[in-house]
Amino acid sequence: MAQKQVRSTPSSARVYRRRRLAVLIALLVAIGLLVWAGFGIASVLRPADPGATGQGTDAVAGGTGSASPQPSQENTNEPTPEPTDCLDGDVSLRASTAQGTHGPAENPVLVMTITNEGKFDCSVNVGTSQQDFSVTSGSDRIFSTSDCVQDPTDTEITIKPGASETARFTWTRVRSAPGCKVINAKPRPGWYGFTAKLGDLTSENAKFELK
């Protein structure tokens, strides 16, 4: 007896395609979280105000944060003193956003500003092992870059007295959880808080609004 061939119906084909699309979307979300972790935290550190700090060149992560001065003839043979590590109270940390209110299609740019409040050049570790950009809504923990950081590194830069360096991270309005777990829920319109952390330093909370 000839076997009867079973043909898929248009409805079953649509269900199959829908399931494949759902799996693909979940995969893309997971890949996206890894991308922002690797790219965002290792953001460019640059002078907050070149005119005020006297720094004429941008300093990428791994740089010194300022141009090295040229020695004069009188002290050419004298060794240049090595900068010491910044001590407690030498460095201040400030959190801010590029703008206060963001429309539905605008992603907030979170800004971490590191300032040398001391009287001497000092070095500070600004690597991905130290940085954290956190977003909260009241007591609700919304997002943290430390949830998905990959291969954290240490990066020492030297900051002159009174000078500042900034690190920026563009938050794409996603939630995160420890272990880089995928969370489908999107943050709703309203007021949020951004806190910057660098090692043991924690900034005050900066408020911003999502429309």
Domains in the chain: ranges and CATH: 84-210 (2.60.40.10)
- Least confidently predicted of 73-82, 172-181, 201-210: 73-82
Q: Two tokens at 106?
A: 């605008």
pLDDT digits (tens, 9 = 90+) for 143-152: 999 999 888 9
The pLDDT assigned to 41 comes to 41
Instruction: Judge whether residue 2 has pLDDT over 80.
Output: no
Residue 181's contacts (CB-CB under 8 Å, 6 or more residues apart) are: 147
CA–CA separation, 157 and 45 (whole Å): 9
Q: Read off the pLDDT of residues 3-43 as tens digits, 9 standing for 90 and up.
A: 445 454 555 555 444 444 444 444 434 434 443 443 344 34
pTM of the model: 0.65
* Selection from 61, 34, 71 nearest residue 157 by Cα: 61
